[in-house]
Chains A and B, each alone.
Chain A
Amino acid sequence: MSGIILPGADGVLFQRDRDWHPKADTPGYKSTTFRAPKHSLLALGPTKSELTGPTFGHEKLGTLDNDLIRNFSQDGTDAIGQRLVVYGQVLDENARPVPNTLVEYWQANAGGRYRHKKEGYLAALDPNFGGFGRSITDENGFYHFRTIKPGAYPWPNTGNDWRPAHIHFSVFGHAFAQRLITQMYFEGDPMIWQCPIVGTIPDKSAIDQLIARLDRHNTTPMDALAYRFDIVLRGRRSTMFENKLEGN
């Protein structure tokens, strides 16, 4: 076998629990109405094409890629808002750390305004806040970044819906079939339980998995609060052996 494949890259993945994830068609979130397939998904185990996936080297990252307080700053001025460190561990379903994987994140500014040409919310842009960052997990699967706490914002769904404060996450893992996009919410936010997008997830304990915990122990004194958000990707049923590519 040639090519760059990480150890275990051909181990079969656990099937996705699609009752734990949101269904495609969730009427409370209106945008799903015409974007949800009506046919059932065709159940197939991943093949080699989905059990492999891209990996990214640490050299891809710039020094400020994980610092949203500074990485868009025009003149070295910090972004406005409550200063945070967000950190966590990327694991698989076997509770094994996922090292050297790319984590991307994006968010609105402290007033709930996104820096995007299609966004017209009247809350002001912060000239020193872009809202984008990325990390590669370390050898133990940990990532961290500095940011400001995003504000809630209104969106056109029913007459008066507001998103809770949230940060979007994109995680790669080491297999294309592990690819995941999700959203992180903040402990104690009452708006979590009123949100139609959160409400696409049927199980309360699954929603709970998206709520980052305030972590007083890891605050930076006189500087930033800390929130911990761990992410679990699909796990492999076994690691690969050269003579047993299909796993067990």
Chain B
Amino acid sequence: MLHPTPILKETPSQTAGPYVHIGMTPNFCDITGVIDTDLGKTMLNGAIEGERIDIVLRLIDGAGVPLSDGVVEIWQADASGNFLGPTTPDSNSAPAFTGWGRQPANETGELRFETIKPGRVPGPDGKLMAPHVALWIVARGINIGLQTRLYFADEVEANTGDFVLNKIMDKRRRETLIARREDGPVPRYVLDIHLQGEKETVFFDM
């Protein structure tokens, strides 16, 4: 059988640099008047099925210093396990739920997404994966965007059977992807992302 091979090489990655906000969240760095709202700031545009949650991430480097210049994007399914997306290419639709968000870290390396808890999505083995959110992290000093996932601590049974979590041989490292739940008017799922060191997050070559 012939294996298809790429014709062109992928454009090589470079760091987003410390001024990534100019291009990805211009209003956040006071470049106002060019676009109304920073892209990805709002994921919920109306009533939507599912549990309303906040995802709170904290980015920490190998010296324990917060990444105050980091930017994270997330991509997730809706409560039914479908990927919707902000819009179709030629429509004027603004769906109630975009599935995609982008947030800049604050001075303590923290960032927050107002979203809903995702439903389960089929995995490559044909079984449902545990509810999860795909993460993509860029910053000064990161040469190529880091890919990882967030799982939910209150989904113990689903997590146990998850295709991706089970690929992590060292079971202790699976914990680095599991966000703890903090109850409140809106439940928060909190996850520290350690780029390096003892608690280093598992990153994927997806």
Residues of A within 8 A of B (CB): 2-5, 14-18, 20-24, 26, 29, 31-39, 41-50, 52-60, 62, 64-65, 71-72, 91-95, 99-100, 104-107, 114-119, 130-134, 136, 168, 170, 176-177, 179-183, 197-198, 200-201, 206-207, 209-210, 231-235, 237-238, 246, 248
Contacts of A181 in B (CB 8 A): 13-16, 20, 138, 145
Which of A59, A64, A232 contacts B11 (CB under 8 A)? A232
Kindly report which residue of chain B lies nearest to residue A3, judged by CB atoms.
B82
Known: A47-B129, A65-B35. A4 touches B141 (CB 8 A): no
- Other than A50-B75, A104-B24, give 10 A-B pairs with Cβ distance below 8 A: A2-B82, A5-B83, A33-B62, A36-B196, A42-B205, A48-B122, A55-B89, A57-B93, A94-B7, A181-B20
Does residue B156 face the partner (Cβ distance < 8 Å to A)?
Answer: no
Partner of A35, one of B13, B61, B83, B134: B61
Q: Is B132's CB within 8 Å of the partner chain A?
A: yes
Which residues of chain B are within 8 angstroms of A182 by Cβ–Cβ distance? 11-14
Interface size on B, residues (CB 8 A): 90
Q: Residue B88 contacts which of A37, A57, A206 (CB distance < 8 angstroms)?
A: A57
List A contacts of B78 (CB < 8 A). Answer: 3
B 158-173 binary contact with A (CB < 8 Å = 1; else 0): 0000011001100001
Task: List residues of B (84-114) whose CB comes within 8 Å of A's CBs.
Answer: 84-93, 98-100
Nearest CB of chain A from residue B87's CB, rounded to whole Å: 4
Candidates A18, A32, A55, A100; contact of B86 at CB < 8 Å:
A55
User: Would A235 and B6 be within 8 Å (CB), given that A34-B62, A57-B90, A72-B33 are in contact?
Assistant: yes
- Contact status B134-A50, CB under 8 Å: yes
Q: Kindly provide the distance from the CB of B100 to the nearest chain A CB, expressed in whole angstroms.
A: 4
Is the C-beta of B187 less than 8 angstroms from some C-beta in chain A? no
What chain B residues lie within 8 Å of A117 (beta carbons)? Answer: 29-30
Alpha-carbon separation in the docked complex, A54 to B206 (Å): 17
Q: Which of A41, A176, A180 has the most CB of B within 10 A?
A: A176
In the complex, chain A residues whose CB is within 8 Å of the CB of B100:
53-54
Contact A53 B35 (CB under 8 A): no
A4 touches B23 (CB 8 A): no
Question: How many Å from the CB of A67 to the closest CB on chain B?
Answer: 10
Contacts A131-B22, A233-B11 hold; do A72 and B34 have CB atoms under 8 A apart? yes
